[in-house]
Amino acid sequence: MRIFRFAQGLVALTALAAVIYIAVTGNFGEVIEQEEKNEENTEEKIDQEDLTEREIITEKSEEIIKNLRNWETGAIEELSHPEDGVIISPATYIDEDTVVLAKEDLKNLEDIDKEYIWGIEDGTGKEIIETPHDFFQDNLFLSDFEVDVISYNRTTTDGDKDNNIKELYRNHYIVEYKDEGSEKYAGIDWESLIFIFEKVDDEYFLIGIIKDHWRV
């Protein structure tokens, strides 16, 4: 955003200088050429800023994937929002009943005896009631998870009535890692992990881990 405002100011100053230059020299053609160069430079700076943010988010997401494959939560705890914690959900519809784990909880999953209602089991309609450690084991620790597609700021089921991620987190950073499933089941056994990050004072914090998959 700062770069964008700087770019706006730069364009305004350039326009003023151009008027003065034309008035003094009459070289209108040279001014047009210089303005085009300035626009190219501005676009390049903005693109570089976007790339930098994507690289940062990707690096953090890769750490989380690595943790989940190794049945660990160290990186998740380290990257989590210090005050708001992390939303943990087995579905893409988030509401006031969605479980939120504090940073300290993520550090000591095995020590939490309390059982939470994480959501509804697809196909049966039964409530998923487990301790945080058991839920991670059954739903998030994915040793055989293969990353086929990585998507930014969009998810596989965008637009689905049971997916309100973009509605709730339109000003956040969303990354989806998708396993496209097997040929044996024609891909209907696909699943994905969605990470949501929030930028606070130039720091990027994890605020959500969401599981998605084909549903009945």
Identify the pLDDT of residue 125: 87
Identify the pLDDT of residue 123: 81
* 70-84, 119-133, 147-161, 194-208: the lowest-pLDDT one: 147-161
Q: What predicted TM-score, i.e. pTM, was given to this entire model?
A: 0.74
Say how far apart CA 134 and CA 87 lie, in whole Å.
16
Comparing 179 with 144, the larger pLDDT belongs to 179
| Per-residue pLDDT tens over the stretch 9-49 | 444 444 444 444 444 455 544 444 554 555 444 444 445 45
Comparing 146 with 91, the larger pLDDT belongs to 91
**192 token code pair:** 């994905």
Average pLDDT estimate for 50-76: 88
CA dihedral sign, ordered 194, 169, 152, 159: positive
Q: Hunting for tokens 């990354």 — which residue is that?
A: 175
Say how far apart CA 158 and CA 166 lie, in whole Å.
8
pLDDT bracket for residue 143 (50, 70, 90): low
What is the percent of the chain with per-residue pLDDT over 70, rounded to a whole number? 75
Q: What is the DSSP string of 158-211?
A: TT-TT--HHHH-TTSEEEEEEE---TTTTTTT-EEEEEEEEEETTEEEEEEEEE
Identify the pLDDT of residue 51: 60
Strands 86-89 and 203-213, bridge-based pairing: parallel
